[in-house]
Amino acid sequence: MRFPDFSRRQFLTTLATAAGSAFVPNFLSASPLQDPVVDATKKDGETVSREKVPWKARPFPMKQVRLGDGPCKRAMEADGRYLHSLPPDRLLHTFRINAGLPSSAQPLGGWEAPDCELRGHYAGGHYLSACALMYASTGDEELRSNANAIVAELGKCQANLEAGGYLSAFPVEFFDRLRNRERVWAPFYTIHKIMAGCLDMYVHCGNEQALDITEKMAGWVAGYTGPLSYDHMQRILGTEFGGMGEVLCNLYAVTGRQHYLEVAQRFDKKVFFDPLAAHRDELKGLHVNTHIPQVIAAARYYELTGERRYRDIAEYFWDEVVSERSYCTGGTSNGESWNTDPGKLSTELSTNTTECCCAYNMMKLTRHLFGWTPDARLMDYYERAMFNHRLGTINPEDGTMMYYLPLASGYWKTFGKPFDSLWCCTGTGSEEYAKLTDTIYFHDDESLYVNLYIDSDLNWPEKGLRVRQETRFPEQQGTTLIVTAQTPTPLAINLRIPYWAQGGSVRINGATLPAFSSPSSYLTLNRDWKTGDKVEINLPMGLHVDPMPDDATIQAMMYGPLVLAGRFEAVGKDLQYGDYEPKNHPPIKVPDILADANRPTAWVEPDAKESLTFHATGQSQPVTMVPLYQIIRERYAVYWKVNTKSA
Ligand SMILES: [Zn+2]
């Protein structure tokens, strides 16, 4: 009863045709409560945690990390401008209409349009999460205030719906269709987004009403799912339901009400989890972005119950997707699905490769695994996805997002329209660039992990410590840390030595250390840190090829962490906006590459003046190559057909 022939966008098109148409009340609070995945909550001055398996390394509250100048901050600011541009009354329109409340606002379009079955997913879900995260990352009071206003109005809608806690922008009858296995898009997927948005408003902005709304919604979910037989519920799980399990776990973690854990487990999809628990890759044919959030739910379930099976599911899944089903960018999926056996990727390059939501969710899952075992390999992946798939899929001008990042050659990037797209990927993108502060640094009681090289400031009041990270990475091949300490503070600072580092060195207060660490590990600097202490790390980048696992003649070229893309002619604005992928215009022909069999990177040479700019040499036509994230308007090529000659 699933609709395997319908991707989301096909489903939307079909429908259109058929239709003819607090705990942290302010920034001064020292409360550690900041993120549903690290939910040590403060209650009456006591820290309460429901984690059976606490993370060994934990992130800092986002309000303790601030971005400095660089590509990440620019992406965050573009996201902020987009969030500020959305009028609350337009966001609320379909919720009010659905609840029988008056609204004269102009409806939004795209996936928020009044006839779209996913309406509400962004307006009452992602938008709230994004505002809450942006508030945590920047202290943006206006966004918090706008989001608080939305929560208050959602509360009125929920009260007016009189359906036992139900809250949505579409009628509850959608759930009758779901129960009867009649065609409906993804009602639980949408409910998850709204619950997660409200819970984020509670966690990051201290909005107590948002928690109350979430709990009432959970009560409705429990009432709907409770009477269903196990087999009936399993059939319902054939319709996309996203992170229902995750948000219910998080709600348990925040409230301590055991019942939510039991409801969460009703969303365990047996045919998906069983093979993963047995370490079997049966992912072929699955819709990618509906399944990654289920694994995040498994990770949460493991953390809250200690049941090892859920950890096995999460770790096996991550390994398999990252090593067998991901491209050089860290992205995964083609046409929203895994269409092939493991390791078969060379035939999958298309305009529909690598949906942005999938990168968002894989990065989110990675943080859980890193919390359990702080392994540099996990952050190597995180950096790869961050610098190649996430930076560069937000439009720096207006903060609009991409849906697919095409990996077929000769195409271009397409962005949504500000008020008339509002896709799933608009939603996850709005969240992503609002939480770029959440992974740069992790810590435990005795050590600091510097995971990502991003210009930023860390404030660690429990240690009386501040760390300024100064870098122009990735233009700069390394970073500098400058410490301010109230008193000399013993601490191990763990610096990630990335997989791509070609040697490297570290200096403390000008003196070079005699030792260094191998790639994909953490270099530990253990000492009493004093104000003015300065750590300079040099991480030389070099060219390296990233060949397809099943066809070594199809290769991407990388420089350090960066995927280099051939940059070709620019497209006009008409082609740049509006659709999930480039279409109605053929690709340009991209040359095959002739390379030396023994020196596979020798055909690429750095530009004499411009940093991070390269040129192909000895080819049939000139090609300039730059980091994929820097390309916004031009046609590009990531994977090349490489023919070899022996010198
Ligand atoms: Zn998406």
The larger pLDDT score, comparing residue 360 to residue 162, is at: 360
Mean per-residue pLDDT, 295-305: 97
Q: What is the pLDDT of residue 84?
A: 98
Q: Do the beta carbons of residue 621 and residue 563 sit within 8 Å? A: no
Q: Do the beta carbons of residue 120 and residue 94 sit within 8 Å? A: yes
CA–centroid distance, 5 to ligand 1, in Å, is 18
Q: What is the pLDDT of residue 8?
A: 47
Write out pLDDT tens, residues 459-480.
999 999 999 999 999 999 999 9
* 381: helix, strand or coil: helix
Q: What is the pLDDT of residue 83?
A: 98
Q: What is the pLDDT of residue 34?
A: 46
> Does residue 182 have a pLDDT over 60?
yes
Q: What is the pLDDT of residue 290?
A: 96
CA–centroid distance, 402 to ligand 1, in Å, is 9
Which residues, other chains included, contact 253 with Cβ-Cβ below 8 Å and sequence gap of 6+? Answer: 36, 39, 50, 51, 300, 304
Instruction: Please list all protein residues whose beta carbon sits less than 5 angstroms from ligand 1, which is an ion.
Output: 355, 357, 424-425
CA–centroid distance, 178 to ligand 1, in Å, is 22
Write out pLDDT tens, residues 72-95.
999 999 999 999 999 999 999 999
Quick one: what percent of the chain has pLDDT higher than 90? 90
> Does residue 252 have a pLDDT over 80?
yes
| Whole-number Å distance between alpha carbons of 364 and 222 | 26
Per-residue confidence at 49, pLDDT binned at 50, 70, 90?
A: confident
Q: What is the pLDDT of residue 40?
A: 54
Mean per-residue pLDDT, 280-298: 98
Give me the torsion for CA of 514, 520, 526, 529, rounded to 10°: 100
Structure token digits, residue 565: 């893309």
CA–centroid distance, 414 to ligand 1, in Å, is 14
E strand or H helix that includes residue 204: helix 187-205
Per-residue confidence at 12, pLDDT binned at 50, 70, 90?
A: very low
Query: Cβ of 191: how many Cβ atoms within 10 Å?
Result: 29
Structure token digits, residue 426: 């608009």
CA–centroid distance, 504 to ligand 1, in Å, is 38
> Does residue 38 have a pLDDT over 70?
no
Mean per-residue pLDDT, 47-52: 82
Q: Do the beta carbons of residue 124 and residue 169 sit within 8 Å? A: yes
> Does residue 22 have a pLDDT over 50?
no
CA–centroid distance, 367 to ligand 1, in Å, is 20
Q: Do the beta carbons of residue 380 and residue 498 sit within 8 Å? A: yes
Q: What is the pLDDT of residue 48?
A: 75
- The number of angstroms, rounded, from the C-alpha of 190 to the middle of its chain's C-alpha atoms is 18
> Does residue 7 have a pLDDT over 50?
no
| Whole-number Å distance between alpha carbons of 300 and 607 | 47
Q: Do the beta carbons of residue 34 and residue 62 sit within 8 Å? A: yes
Write out pLDDT tens, residues 318-341.
999 999 999 999 999 999 999 999
Q: What is the pLDDT of residue 4?
A: 35
For residue 44, what is the DSSP state?
Answer: T
CA–centroid distance, 610 to ligand 1, in Å, is 34
Write out pLDDT tens, residues 541-564.
999 999 999 999 999 999 999 999
| Whole-number Å distance between alpha carbons of 134 and 436 | 9
- Sheet (strand 478-485) strand order: 65-67, 456-460, 465-470, 478-485, 534-538, 505-508, 511-512
CA–centroid distance, 241 to ligand 1, in Å, is 14
DSSP string, 106-162: PPP-GGGSTT-TTTTTIIIIIHHHHHHHHHHHH--HHHHHHHHHHHHHHHHHHHHH-
CA–centroid distance, 107 to ligand 1, in Å, is 21
CA–centroid distance, 386 to ligand 1, in Å, is 16
> Does residue 39 have a pLDDT over 80?
no
| Whole-number Å distance between alpha carbons of 352 and 293 | 20
Per-residue confidence at 584, pLDDT binned at 50, 70, 90?
A: confident
Per-residue confidence at 5, pLDDT binned at 50, 70, 90?
A: very low
Query: Cβ of 599: how many Cβ atoms within 10 Å?
Result: 9
Q: Which amino acid is at 411?
A: Y
| Whole-number Å distance between alpha carbons of 67 and 456 | 4
Q: What is the pLDDT of residue 44?
A: 64
| Whole-number Å distance between alpha carbons of 620 and 230 | 62
Structure token digits, residue 192: 């998850």
> Does residue 104 have a pLDDT over 50?
yes
CA–centroid distance, 355 to ligand 1, in Å, is 6
| Whole-number Å distance between alpha carbons of 405 and 175 | 33
| Whole-number Å distance between alpha carbons of 166 and 168 | 7
Per-residue confidence at 200, pLDDT binned at 50, 70, 90?
A: very high
| Whole-number Å distance between alpha carbons of 222 and 264 | 9
CA–centroid distance, 586 to ligand 1, in Å, is 24
CA–centroid distance, 328 to ligand 1, in Å, is 19
CA–centroid distance, 358 to ligand 1, in Å, is 7
For the chain, the straight-line distance linking the first and the last C-alpha, in angstroms and rounded, comes to 58
Write out pLDDT tens, residues 210-228.
999 999 999 999 999 999 9
Query: Cβ of 218: how many Cβ atoms within 10 Å?
Result: 25
The mean pLDDT of the chain is: 93
Strands 489-497 and 447-450: parallel
Hey, CA dihedral for 378, 384, 387, 388, is it positive or negative? negative
CA–centroid distance, 353 to ligand 1, in Å, is 12
| Whole-number Å distance between alpha carbons of 85 and 309 | 44
Phi, then psi, of 50 in degrees rounded to 5: -100, 10
For the chain, how long is the longest CA-to-CA vector? 77
CA–centroid distance, 426 to ligand 1, in Å, is 7
pTM of this structure: 0.94
| Whole-number Å distance between alpha carbons of 8 and 17 | 14
Q: What is the pLDDT of residue 1?
A: 29
For the chain, state the CA radius of gyration.
24
